Amino acid sequence: MDLLEDLTRRILPADGAMGTELFAAGVARDRCLEELCVSQPDLVLRVHRSYLEAGALLVKTNSFGANAVRLAAHGLEHRVSEINWTAAQLAKEAAKEFRAHVAGSVGPLGAASGVDREAIFLEQIGALLDGGARVILLETFTDLDEIGLALNAKHTLHHCPVIACLACREDARLPDGTTLTDAFTRLRDLGADIVGVICTAITPALFAALPSPDADLPLAVFPSAGLPVDRAGRLEFPVSPAQFARDVAALARSGARLLGGCCGAGPAHIAAMVAALPPAA
């Protein structure tokens, strides 16, 4: 079933963080996490399956930073197609028995000057689509111009649904002061099918800033489990699964239709969230 059709029928639970789960499994913090799709596919599959077993019905590919700019920091800029194609294949394999959706994860480029940014997005998104992703998730963008380029690249390649998720400040504004309401309006005009926020704390300001439910533009929220604390080289996040579930259930009551987690939200958080959400039909 198409994701947009699915969201008209039910609130859909998604997965949580990939990076923090890989770190918890012993992966070094300076490692290229996306390259693990190729060198340690069983580890990536294990993370995907842990979320699906927790009740997630959408999984994000392990490809957030798998663009030519970010991969260049690891000398891997020539492996964009390989890494993204494999990331999509792994998520698709894991999701198959659970009949879950696969969203190709695309993050911002970071420090990118003197490059054709839209061409870089075209390369990454094209490989994710070739690998079997039938949803594209643009996540953790803070620059509306940059996410606009990514949206245009996706529209050039495929008609599949695209989720446009922004990272906002604690006051629920973008770094340049743009309100979420204004940002979501622009994303809708640029052709986003679903809009939302990701990698942000759940605050009263966030609840106040979320727009009224719009049947034509579903809302997605992927909050983090709080700000991390480094304890002897290990990142710990303060929000417990129980608190996370209560907060996300409140977001669902406020009209969000696609709900998952970001940094620090692991399988236990997602399992608690699924238990707190209305049951999937």
What pLDDT does 280 receive? 60
CA-to-CA dists, residue 32 to 29, 69, 73, 74, angstroms:
8, 13, 9, 7
What pTM did the predictor assign? Answer: 0.96
- Helical packing angle, 117-131 and 80-96, nearest 10°: 40
Helices (H), the chain: 3-9, 19-24, 36-39, 41-53, 68-72, 80-96, 117-131, 144-157, 180-189, 204-209, 241-253, 267-276
What pLDDT does 42 receive? 98
- Phi and psi torsions of 13, nearest 5°: -85, 135
In DSSP notation, 104-164 reads EEE----S--SS-HHHHHHHHHHHHHHHT--EEEEEEE--HHHHHHHHHHHHHH--S-EEE
What pLDDT does 201 receive? 85
Give me the average pLDDT of each 10-residue run along the chain (281 residues): 93 97 94 98 98 98 98 97 98 97 96 89 98 98 97 97 96 94 95 96 85 81 88 82 96 94 97 90 50
What the block records as the tokens of 149 is 């380029």
